[in-house]
Amino acid sequence: MPKKQNLCGVCHSFPYELDMKLQIDNFDGRGPTDYRSAIDASRAPKVVRRLNKPDELQLSLIADRPDFIVPGNGARITLGRSNGEDVFTGYLTQAPAFEYLGWGERGPVYRYNLVAQGDEVLLDRKQIPNSPPFVDRSAGDALRQLTEDLLPGIFDTTAVQDVDTIAHYAPSPQKKWS
């Protein structure tokens, strides 16, 4: 049998034992809620990063309590390490798929499979405005300007470095951000 190639780009799986935090905000007035205890231990969360595509988080949650709130389409998800370093931030772009696992001590048990897209999905939804080309400007400066033009004040671009100077770049309204 031929060996399968990993064509997804850079994939990261996080062992459940790793001290992580999982916050989900359903925008229901409760604010971000800790879902760490609901992470399915048999399926480690997986972050997929591909060139020119939004990042993707795949994870499963186990609902074994009657008060479990199912994350809804559009919910904000943050997966990070306990030291405060965020590994993934994004949004659910579809309702979670679920499967019935059986009956537990506190009632029915379900597995919810979630797929979230990274924050750049917000930029992909907006059309790049018509603007003059960037001439003899740093790539970082052009990136900061495009980001601010699309979603003013939403993203913190202070850590974006200037890097190399680009001779000429004309943004196209027909293309997506990523």
pLDDT in tens, 142-174: 888 888 888 888 888 888 898 889 898 888 888
Query: Rounded mean pLDDT of the chain?
Result: 85
What does the pLDDT read at residue 100?
Answer: 94
| pLDDT at 11 exceeding the cut of 70 | no
Q: Which two tokens stand for residue 97?
A: 């798929």
Q: Per-domain residue ranges for the chain?
A: 10-118, 125-169
Mean per-residue pLDDT, 91-115: 93
pLDDT of residue 47: 94
Q: What is the pLDDT of residues 129-138, one digit of tens each?
A: 888 888 999 9
The C-alpha atoms of residue 41 and residue 46 are separated, in whole angstroms, by 12
Query: Greater confidence, 130 or 60?
Result: 60
DSSP state of 57: E
CATH for the 10-118 domain, from 1.10.760, 2.40.360, 2.30.38, 2.40.10:
2.40.10
Supply the pLDDT for residue 118. Answer: 94
Answer whether 25's CB lies under 8 Å from 88's CB: no
Instruction: Return the percentage of the chain with pLDDT > 90, whole number.
Output: 44
Its pTM stands at 0.74
Q: Residue 78: beta bridge partners?
A: 23, 89
pLDDT of the residue at 151: 81
pLDDT above 90 (res 91): yes
**123-128 contacts, C-beta under 8 A, 24 or more apart:** 123/147, 123/150, 123/151, 123/177, 123/178, 124/54, 124/176, 124/177, 124/178, 126/150, 126/151, 126/177, 127/173, 128/171, 128/172, 128/173, 128/175, 128/177
41: left (phi over 0), alpha (psi -120 to 50) or beta: alpha
User: How many residues make up the chain in this entry?
Assistant: 178
3-state secondary structure of 46: strand
